[in-house]
Structure 1
């Protein structure tokens, strides 16, 4: 098993394949060392291109990944109809051999599939996307009942490190008063937010009960993960899903 990435531990159908990369075993130099997949990070473009080729070849992907220009919004695109690098924060497909991917370095990557193994999706969920409804928009695009969806929560900043202001907490509580349990009081006017718990609440409210993953912290695990909050200038990990 290649230690350059994480194989999601979830009961996805055999036709569904997925990986989440770490920062290990790539070709970028510090501060992007080493498997940086972010083309807009300031890294050497040749090194990033080499990293992308390595990912496709070493992970056995069926082709190039459909990546997005992520803007912390809620737009969802179909990979099979999308223009190159569309501006969106989630991507889905029902076509085989078409990898869908998103990039993160603290935000939460969420993978989706249906229980029949016919549709997959990947969403980029920072706090703005979560509050705005990117997960709900992705589920709507999949057009599968929530009870038939399986979700996996990938590496994100953990609840002991993700400090936010009153306005972030208010954005979630305005829509879900029960979300208060996902926030822990920090210094005055600041809170520690649990992205995993917030995402789980949003998914469950949309009928999704089969939720797996979580428990990572990109901020504290310096060896395996890039973290924008920790380092500022840094690379990006990729989370990819496809149908065989």
Structure 2
């Protein structure tokens, strides 16, 4: 497949993924030759549920496939924890907030516009996964579900559920999301995390009126660390904040009518 060059500001993860694993996170920038969506969506929008013109979304999705050399599979994201297992024939629109595959040329894809995208890869290159981690999914265990799925999938499945959660080495990358200086939430959000994990309290800063600022990347890193998964990417610094950079990233809180970016991870076709 002939590939389009990636726009210069698309994010290519700097992580120790094995040979044959590829990943990218889009921005608002369109690949060469692809027209941006009209206002108010603007730029490169990959979501077909936000009111954008269907022909624009279809063009953008085709451009993403041309840039990656893989077929991105788009989910119907529900802010839950279900993981869809993808193969070469997997359709778009499956209700899930994470995807896993051991098939080459198929990109596990999650759409975001403030929520946190989490990409996972087995160190042996046998499988990859992507998770859409808004606060509901993150609190509910979407990262744990995706990690278990990617550890189970591959040529040599673990002998037991216990070994599936720890024996297979996995690495993770966190993409851009709303930052810890912008993500104001109510006390119910903090309670959803701290009820099961008291250490999550360190990821919230108090605000006037009983509100809190939540640190999504730190919450995700806590959970990944508990799974024994080393993590790269978003460290919570301003450079990764979607809300504070609405010209670069789609941000729902900055613009309620906006498009969606995509974070994709796939196994390169033809790689041993």
* Cα pair 1:61 1:99 within 8 Å, conserved: no
| 2:80 alignment partner, one of 66, 73, 81 | 73
Is residue 148 from structure 1 mapped to residue 157 from structure 2 by the alignment?
A: no
CA distance in 2, matches of 1:79, 1:200: 26
The residue correspondences of 1:1-244 to structure 2 (distance < 5 A) are 2-25=7-30, 26-57=35-66, 59-62=67-70, 64-80=71-87, 82-142=90-150, 143=152, 145-146=165-166, 148-208=169-229, 210-214=230-234, 215=236, 216-244=240-268
Secondary structure of residue in 1 paired with 2:254: helix
The structure with the larger Rg is 2
CA distance in 2, matches of 1:66, 1:78: 11
The alpha carbon displacement at 1:27 in A equals 2.0
* Cα pair 2:7 2:29 within 8 Å, conserved: no
Aligned CA RMSD, in angstroms, stands at 1.4
The alpha carbon displacement at 1:148 in A equals 0.6
Secondary structure of residue in 1 paired with 2:208: coil
Q: 1:83 to 1:52 in 2, by over 3 A?
A: closer
Secondary structure of residue in 2 paired with 1:242: strand
The alpha carbon displacement at 1:82 in A equals 4.2
Secondary structure of residue in 1 paired with 2:217: helix
Runs (4+) off by over 6 Å: none
Kindly provide the CA deviation profile for residues 165-187 of structure 1, in whole angstroms up to 9, marking residues without a partner as x: 00000010001111111000111
CA distance in 2, matches of 1:121, 1:183: 28
Q: 1:169 to 1:243 in 2, by over 3 A?
A: same
TM-score (norm 1): 0.95
CA distance in 1, matches of 2:68, 2:246: 26
* Cα pair 2:73 2:91 within 8 Å, conserved: no
Q: Which moved more, 1:144-153 or 1:170-179?
A: 144-153
* Cα pair 2:81 2:96 within 8 Å, conserved: yes
The alpha carbon displacement at 1:83 in A equals 4.3
The alpha carbon displacement at 1:11 in A equals 1.0
* Cα pair 1:27 1:48 within 8 Å, conserved: no
TM-score (norm 2): 0.85
